[in-house]
Chains A and B, each alone.
Chain A
Amino acid sequence: MTVLVLIEMDGAEAADASLRAVTLARGLGDVSAVMFGAAAPAVGGVTDVYLIDPAVTGGYAPVAWARTLAGLVTETGATAVLAAGTERGNEVLAHLGAITGLPMAANCVAVRAASDGTHELVRHRWAGLLLEDAVLEASVALCTVATDGIAAQPDEPGPAVVHEHKPELTDADLAVRATESAASAGGVSLATARVVVGGGRGVGSADGFAPLEELAELLGGVVGVSRVVTSEGWRPHRQQVGQTGTKITPELYLACGISGAIQHIAGCAGAKHIVAINTDPGAPILAHADYAVIGDLHQIVPDLIAALRAR
């Protein structure tokens, strides 16, 4: 049985999120990778690669990518199509679902082919705060794989057969295309920062973030905020950590004046260490933190800055 996996590229390499999808797909059959790129990077556990010259679609064109997958499903008789649960992966598989009339299960963490031809799966709801056990009844299973649900288990890249594939596309398939502009200017990104100093309602005002900025700079990190802070307009939305903002994975998340609504926890649960500074010893964040200092951040943060400067 053939399983198609859409591989997204990270530079010249396959993106980590796509390797997680390959790991999950290997439990379902022989994996054929589908790549839109000039050259195919070696991916472990893959028997075939369908390589599509990016000039054919003129860059990222979600409908054209989905139409390509639809054609390959027919050509290979694939029983499942997987992609990473990224913006693009979810988008392309939703288009594929709409084109084929098939259901699509987003952000799966487990998929198993049952003997009756259905697929039993576990998927994220509430950005992973809940899990759903579900049965997917479809001639072809369309699933995206949660980017933080399972670890990629790389296999030694073996000899995969590379097929240079030319999809049959119409002008309508290519009507919506991404025009990319240059990468946004430098600075440490929230998603990849090693230290994030978080500020919530307890910071109290837009001005109150100055000490948090100073502390973040001292620690070589960045400031992240809770949803209430962006809703109040104290800080821009791009600094929001949480379900509707950014998921972070730092070594340290120092949560200052953040009570810990679960939508916020959905964004910071990937931190290796969480330290909370909060006046309320009963705040929900304490059930997710490794350490806590009970007290007013307006005193503790300046004291911490002074102590770090004195070292």
Chain B
Amino acid sequence: MDILVCVKRVPTVGGKITLTEDGQEVDTRMSGFTVSPHEECAVEEAVQLTERLGGTVSVLTLGAEIAIEQLRDALALGAGRAVLLDTGGNRPPGPPRETGGNRPPGPPRETGGREYGPIATAAAIAAEVRAHGYDLVLLGNEASDTGDYQVGIRVAHELGWPVATGIKNLAVTDGVVVARREYRGVEEAYTLPLPAVVTVKEGINLPRYPSLPGRLRAKRAQIERVPVPWRADGLRKQKLRVPDSVKHQAEVLGSVPDLVRVLDEMGVL
């Protein structure tokens, strides 16, 4: 079984989230980057499926050159092949290339504020699926940053394949996928013939740590690159804002009896 997993590079935000001055993107000067959490589980699920059933795992991301970091993370977990749907722009950090000249000081901006919307993203993924041929395409249910909740479904419609979303349990037997999720405390099961698209959620598995041989293999792996032209989606971002919140500092209680008194006042005892 040949599986394609689609992952997205997102900022690792910790204690707080700040924006660039123009409000176009998250300020990532103080943060690292990671694979969006649901998609890390999608990679693990694909690797587990092929360990049981045989086959291959390819990983894909749409982004700038710098997003190959996340492709290598997925390769280290066990994916065998990686494709960058190249949006142009940021190079990975490192010495200036001979042809590239001096890069401007300071960190590169991630997207330059220009995001590829869900329609353009899905069309690019579907084109790769048609060009290469897969039995199963896995994505995260939603990316942690944009939270559009639709790329997987749009990919499925582009291909004319069935799709299930928000999946927490996946079984494949004899060319059929049984995908399960919970809705209002009730378990729902979806039965899809392959080829199919499935979007998964964190909790479907516990992703492994990359092994040392895995990391070395990932470091040496070739990355296939496919340029993807930008096109406008109908949803145009104007700017991002941090919502007004009643930021305050907690009142510090000196002792457990004080804590008991406070809990009593809240009416929870």
B19 CB, nearest partner CB in chain A, Å: 8
Query: Contacts A95-B153, A233-B206, A291-B253: A126 and B238 contacting too (C-beta < 8 A)?
Result: no
Q: Do the beta carbons of B238 and A304 come within 8 Å of each other?
A: no
Residue numbers in B under 8 Å from A268 (CB-CB): none
Per the bound structure, the CA–CA distance linking A234 and B233 in Å amounts to 42
**Among the listed B187, B206, B237, B269, which residue makes an inter-chain contact with A180, where contact means beta carbons less than 8 Å apart?**
B187
Inter-subunit contact B190/A135 (CB<8 Å): no
Residues in B neighbouring A131, C-beta threshold 8 A = 240-243
Residue among A98, A252, A281 with most chain B CB within 10 A: A98
Which residue of B154, B164, B183, B202 contacts A244 across the interface (Cβ within 8 Å)? B202
Residue B112 at the A interface, CB < 8 A? no
Task: Enumerate chain B residues within 8 angstroms of A95, measured Cβ to Cβ.
Answer: 153, 157
25 residue pairs from A and B, CB less than 8 Å apart: A60-B188, A90-B142, A94-B153, A94-B154, A97-B150, A102-B234, A106-B149, A138-B234, A176-B192, A177-B190, A179-B190, A179-B191, A180-B186, A181-B187, A184-B185, A231-B206, A240-B203, A244-B37, A252-B266, A284-B16, A291-B259, A293-B252, A300-B256, A304-B259, A308-B260
* Chain B residues whose C-beta falls within 8 Å of the C-beta of A291 in the assembled complex: 250-253, 259, 262
Taking CB atoms, residues of chain B closer than 8 Å to A201 are none
Assign chain A's interface to a size class: 35 or more
The answer, among B15, B148, B256, for a CB contact under 8 Å with A284, is B15
Known A106-B148, A233-B206: A134·B235 in contact at CB below 8 Å: yes
* Contacts known (A97-B150, A219-B269); A262 close to B185, Cβ less than 8 A: no
- Asked if A130 is at the interface of the complex by the 8 Å CB criterion, the answer is yes
Which chain A residue shows the least CB distance to B178?
A179
The answer to whether A244 touches B188 (Cβ under 8 A) is: no
Is the CB–CB distance between B182 and A184 below 8 Å? yes
User: B14-71: which residues lie under 8 A (CB-CB) from chain A?
Assistant: 14-17, 19, 26, 37-38
Interface contact A133-B238, CB-CB below 8 Å = yes
Cα separation A259 to B15 with both chains bound (whole Å): 8
Q: Mark B202-215, 1 if CB is under 8 A from A, else 0.
A: 11001000000000
Chain A residues with CB below 8 A from B148, complex form: 104, 106
On whether A292 and B202 interact (CB within 8 A), knowing A87-B166, A130-B241, the answer reads no
Q: Is the CB of B203 within 8 A of A189?
A: no
What 1/0 mask marks residues of chain B from 150 to 186 whose CB sits below 8 Å from any chain A CB?
A: 1001101110001111100000000000000111111
CB distance from B267 to the nearest CB of A (A): 7
B251 touching A251 by the CB < 8 A rule? no
With A106-B150, A125-B240, A290-B251 as given contacts, are A307 and B257 in contact (CB-CB < 8 Å)?
yes
Please name all residues of chain A whose beta carbon is closer than 8 Å to the beta carbon of B247 when the two chains form the complex: 287
- Specify which chain A residues have a CB less than 8 angstroms from the CB of B99 in the assembled complex: none
Q: Is the CB of A125 within 8 A of B147?
A: yes
CB distance from B151 to the nearest CB of A (A): 9
Tell me if A10 is interfacial: C-beta within 8 Å of chain B: yes
Q: How far is the CB of B123 from chain A (nearest CB, A)?
A: 11
Neighbouring B residues of A237 by C-beta, 8 Å: 202-203, 206
Query: Is B185 touching A244 in the complex (CB atoms < 8 A)?
Result: no
Q: Report the separation of the CA atoms of residues A182 and B266 in the bound assembly, to the nearest whole angstrom.
A: 36
How many Å lie between the Cα of A127 and that of B118 in the bound state? 17
Give every chain A residue within 8 A of B220 (Cβ-Cβ).
none
* CB of A249 closer than 8 Å to a CB of B: no
Q: Give chain A interface residues in 95-109, CB to chain B under 8 Å.
A: 95, 97-99, 101-107
Whole-angstrom distance between the Cβ of B41 and the nearest chain A Cβ: 9
Chain A residues within 8 Å of B188, by CB: 60, 178-181
Distance, CA A304 to CA B257, complexed state (A): 8
